[in-house]
Structure 1
């Protein structure tokens, strides 16, 4: 079926090797770095036949809309919606794309952010950070996100709060979304409890882990959203990287 892709979501411009257009090649390698401008998607896309000297010459890279590239190769359409930090490769134009986990990106390193006088978080620099209208703090790459909220429960002890939030995952309304599993990563200083569910937004389903991190009567809620089930390891690791300030 003919599709001109003009209604593709407005993700921003792509940096694409001229070799794909000049030599009628299909993309074989692509990665999405952190964007510095709203009109830039962060995607860089190559045929896989470029030399280092070729890619170092800015004259060999063009900026185009997603629809322009998708008319050349529709197979990249679902990949273009993947988040910052995504890297994909395939052996030839007839092969399936696969996710690459060991390709070094310029912005791929851990940073420590101070959240309050009590809390810090260690998180990958690929995540964009913004404060939402509700006052929550959001870190996101597009397909992985963390939403943070902090409040106090006056008159409640840490032990009482832990017991309450531990029950939330077990007693919540299962007709809305079933609790997949519950967690307890508490230590002698911080009570950490949470639960995992699966949510859906239109045709897209994703996993969510609701966590409650408690010191005295202070509650730090961290909610982790991720599209790929394999990213549960990222969610758990980042959850454990919520730490008390030294």
Structure 2
């Protein structure tokens, strides 16, 4: 495997440091197994890069693992360029040098399990523990893996019952301005306790296009507004599941 000359990935996004087997960086053996777990500290990307030939004893020796930036590893193996933009929870493998990476679904990450978060006295949510939680400057609550995110904010609507709020938000969705972003789909997952309505659009930034599902979960005097951001439409199922499992707390 020939290492590329020069910083050919100088515009690659800053994702943090990667923990990489020195079989890759020093022995120049091509990576064949990579995964991204929940970061252990702010400068950590969560990426773990291995050749697949390491023994358990080899990996247990910290001298055999190094911390490197993404550009350094991409210069060794450019095939990782798209892989390293995947979110927390991604696991990829390839059978042999030069073959394509494929997604692994049966590898168990340490933090891969569901948890229940109490959002307020009223609301609770089930979400995978791989999601990182933060409170943004505006006060919005954000959960993200990098390629899947949900942003939440709660609006107090004093003196308005859920039926009134439902009709108001339904009209907002139905008659929203289509000039900036066209409504791709609409949703209504209402039940006896919570009215849930929303819509999906496509947005883009300087790096990529992505889909956003805007949802409104409505009870008397309160609206929980959600925005689900997904890079891959296959993750829409995750967004809908998560939305439907944000519920009014019973205790």
- TM-score category (smaller protein): over 0.9
SS in 1 for 2:120: coil
Quote the offset at 1:116 in angstroms.
0.9
Task: Quickly say closer, same or farther: Cα 1:112–1:23, change in 2 above 3 A.
Answer: same
Deviates more, 1:10-19 or 1:53-62: 53-62
Selected match of 2:180 from 176, 184, 191: 176
The corresponding residue for 1:51 is 55
Quote the offset at 1:3 in angstroms.
5.0
Quote the offset at 1:103 in angstroms.
1.5
Structure 2 unaligned runs (5+)?
A: none
Task: Quickly say closer, same or farther: Cα 1:60–1:213, change in 2 above 3 A.
Answer: same
Length-normalised TM-score, structure 2: 0.92
SS in 2 for 1:70: helix
Quote the offset at 1:2 in angstroms.
5.7
Task: Quickly say closer, same or farther: Cα 1:3–1:178, change in 2 above 3 A.
Answer: farther
SS in 1 for 2:171: helix
Provide Cα deviations, 1:108-131, integer angstroms capped at 9, x if missing partner.
Answer: 111111111110011111111111
Alignment partners' CA distance in 2, 1:164 and 1:91: 55
Alignment partners' CA distance in 2, 1:148 and 1:211: 10
Q: Do 1:170 and 1:179's aligned partners in 2 also have CA atoms closer than 8 Å?
A: no
SS in 1 for 2:153: strand
The corresponding residue for 1:106 is 110
Alignment partners' CA distance in 2, 1:170 and 1:2: 54
Q: How does 1:72-151 map to 2 (within 5 A)?
A: 72-151=76-155
The corresponding residue for 2:214 is 210
The corresponding residue for 1:16 is 20
Structure 1 unaligned runs (5+)?
A: none
Q: Do 1:139 and 1:145's aligned partners in 2 also have CA atoms closer than 8 Å?
A: yes
SS in 2 for 1:23: coil
Quote the offset at 1:245 in angstroms.
0.7
List 4+ stretches of structure 1 deviating above 3 A: none
Alignment root-mean-square deviation, CA: 1.6
Are residue 232 (structure 1) and residue 210 (structure 2) matched? no
The corresponding residue for 2:158 is 154
Alignment partners' CA distance in 2, 1:7 and 1:206: 20
Alignment partners' CA distance in 2, 1:111 and 1:22: 40
SS in 1 for 2:34: strand
Deviates more, 1:109-118 or 1:75-84: 75-84
Alignment partners' CA distance in 1, 2:103 and 2:178: 33
Alignment partners' CA distance in 1, 2:235 and 2:174: 23
Length-normalised TM-score, structure 1: 0.94
Q: Do 1:199 and 1:206's aligned partners in 2 also have CA atoms closer than 8 Å?
A: yes
Quote the offset at 1:58 in angstroms.
2.1
